[in-house]
Amino acid sequence: MDIARFTADAPLEEMQAALREVGILIVEKLVPDDTMDRIESEIAPDLEAKEPGGGKFFGFKCKRLGGAVGRSPTFAHQLGDPILTGLADALLLDNCKTYQLQISGILQVWKGGEPQPLHRDIGVYEPYLERKPGGPEILVSLMWAVTDFTAENGATRLVPGSHLWESERKAKPEEEIQAVMPRGSLAIWRGNILHGMGVNHTDTPRTGLVGGFSVGWLRQEENQYLVCPPEKAQHLPERVQQLLGYKAHSPILGWVEDRDSDLLLRAGNRDNDNDNAAYDDQTLQY
């Protein structure tokens, strides 16, 4: 089984089927180069200030920064991309009314280190949620290539079809496939898929933006209301605000004062009712 690959003009239904069956797909060059340039310049100061080193699991040679949506407004806008949300709809809406951003971060892998242990992103909920191979998903995981992802520079290793495996089954090295993809591409995989960071054997760092969506009735892994508080979130499109969690999961999970929380966010912005103009601004700033 291989990773399914598409260009952004492929029929959404074919991509949705691949995500359900293979469990992993790549949408090549989903984000245009000039948008990637803006994202890179927005995250550059934070990355420069960070030293590599996060331990055995997070990677001794990895610069890791959380809360990417709070650091790069241009990246935050990408969450509402219709191909991305069309794929997340197909996977998660069987199991919830609305889904939300689970986590977002920047992962820059430098030369050296070791392969990250393979893991499933749904593992953060063990032992409280029982894993059912092939069962309804609660998570979908995302990786945008900020630089090209190559076999040599540590492209993510993924195990297609492993969402169907029993938890005890270990992947053989030949069952791992790397998410080799050009800059601007998005790899998307089911939360039940085994995966891990690769090793960078080159002198140039590999940079990825990692993310995930989870069903809206579950506690988010990262606290999005601190990562992207209302002062920042009010400048984002309403769909992105909802995805960050500024919306109650029907009927009342996450409500505030008996109201859906996305309405409250807009009420906070009541005296500054020109927020839509900011969405089209090419020099996006919080």
Comparing CB distances to ligand AKG, the nearer of 86 and 112 is 112
Among positions 205, 208, 211, 245, the unique one binding ligand AKG when judged by CB under 6 A:
208
Q: How far apart are CA 117 and CA 198, in angstroms?
A: 10
Nearest Cα neighbor of 36 from 207, 157, 191 is 207
The total of other beta-carbon atoms located within 10 Å of residue 210's CB is: 20
Is position 63 an interface residue for ligand AKG (rule: CB under 6 A)?
Answer: no
Query: To 5 degrees, how large is the angle CA 108–CA 162–CA 214?
Result: 60
Ranges within 135-194 binding ligand AKG (CB under 6 A): 156
| Least distance between ligand AKG and beta carbon 281 (Å) | 31
Beta-bridge partners for 211: 104, 142
Is position 242 an interface residue for ligand AKG (rule: CB under 6 A)?
Answer: no
Q: How far apart are CA 228 and CA 188, in angstroms?
A: 23
Is position 107 an interface residue for ligand AKG (rule: CB under 6 A)?
Answer: yes
Q: How far apart are CA 178 and CA 211, in angstroms?
A: 18
Comparing CB distances to ligand AKG, the nearer of 53 and 196 is 196
Comparing CB distances to ligand AKG, the nearer of 156 and 261 is 156
Among positions 19, 197, 218, 284, the unique one binding ligand AKG when judged by CB under 6 A:
197
Q: Which residues bind ligand AKG (CB under 6 A)?
A: 107, 116, 156, 195-197, 208
